């Protein structure tokens, strides 16, 4: 699978170079675990293609492999923006199988999930290095955004000069604090939303078209 993926990606890279103007931009959905990345990816995919990207879960690290949804056409203001969405595993600096034991999982499954999640983080970081043209950074607005992971990832994204849209997710929850997210990264625009409830998706799509069109 690695070989095939590698070959396909290589071919895609070559074609990207040839038809750069016409190819859809590949937008990575990044963020810490359980921020709602897959929920957002599914929301976008369902809204514009009718299909989902992957299963959502309350359990952290449900997404352990980057999943791509290609040719998502988003219409805004009479124009169409086509993007490829890459839903990436949640990025973290530590993965411990014990955190899965609370989610009705036996030790063997938890250890395997932990290993796969670690591989997923490695994959997500690799994608960030060379395979994405823009980033949607999803944060859980009920949690403190001042973390090493967020600071480091936003720093990498900025150093790459990638266009980045920061989303403050989970505004449907009472503990949501969008201001805290906006204050953490004042150099970027922050858009509040609830991917689960579909709140404020109009503005999200407008910003996606603006940033990545």
Report if residue 147 touches other proteins, rule: CB under 8 A: no
Task: Classify residue 55 by burial, with Cβ atoms within 10 Å: 0-12, 13-18, 19+.
Answer: exposed
CA distances to 97, 129, 160 from 10, rounded to whole Å, are 34, 15, 21
Report if residue 114 touches other proteins, rule: CB under 8 A: yes
Q: At CA 44, angle to CA 38 and CA 45, rounded to 5?
A: 85
Site string for other proteins, 43-82 (x = CB under 8 A): ----------------------------------------
From the CB of 152, what's the least distance to other proteins, in Å? 5
Report if residue 121 touches other proteins, rule: CB under 8 A: yes
Report if residue 184 touches other proteins, rule: CB under 8 A: no
Residue 21 phi/psi, 5° resolution? -70, -30
Q: Contact at 8 Å (CB) between 63 and 90? A: yes
Report if residue 93 touches other proteins, rule: CB under 8 A: yes
From the CB of 74, what's the least distance to other proteins, in Å? 28
Report if residue 3 touches other proteins, rule: CB under 8 A: yes
Q: Contact at 8 Å (CB) between 169 and 197? A: no
Residue (71 or 126) nearer to other proteins, CB: 126
Binders of other proteins among residues 153 to 182 (CB under 8 A) are 153, 156
Residue (73 or 98) nearer to other proteins, CB: 98
Q: Contact at 8 Å (CB) between 74 and 48? A: yes
CB atoms within 10 A of CB 102: 9
Q: Which residues make up the interface to other proteins (CB under 8 A)?
A: 2-3, 6-7, 10, 13, 91-98, 107, 110-111, 114-115, 118-119, 121-123, 125-126, 128-130, 149, 152-153, 156
């Amino acid at each position: 699978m690695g070989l095939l993926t590698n070959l396909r990606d290589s071919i895609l890279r070559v074609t990207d170079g040839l038809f750069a103007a016409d190819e859809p931009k590949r937008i990575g959905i990044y963020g810490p675990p359980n921020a709602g990345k897959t929920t957002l990816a599914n929301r976008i995919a369902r809204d514009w293609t009718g299909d989902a990207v992957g299963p959502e879960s309350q359990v952290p690290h449900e997404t352990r492999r980057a999943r791509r949804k290609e040719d998502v056409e988003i219409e805004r203001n009479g124009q169409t923006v086509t993007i490829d969405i890459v839903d990436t595993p949640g990025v973290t600096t530590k993965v411990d199988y014990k955190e899965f034991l609370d989610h009705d999982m036996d030790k063997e499954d938890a250890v395997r999930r932990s290993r796969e999640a670690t591989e997923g983080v490695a994959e997500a970081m690799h994608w960030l290095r060379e395979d994405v043209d823009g980033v949607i950074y999803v944060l859980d607005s009920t949690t403190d955004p001042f973390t090493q992971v967020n600071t480091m990832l936003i720093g990498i994204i900025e150093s790459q000069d990638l266009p980045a849209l920061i989303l403050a997710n989970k505004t449907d929850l009472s503990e949501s604090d969008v201001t805290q997210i906006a204050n953490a990264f004042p150099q970027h625009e922050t858009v509040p939303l609830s991917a689960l409830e579909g709140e404020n998706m109009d503005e999200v799509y407008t910003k996606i078209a603006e940033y990545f069109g």
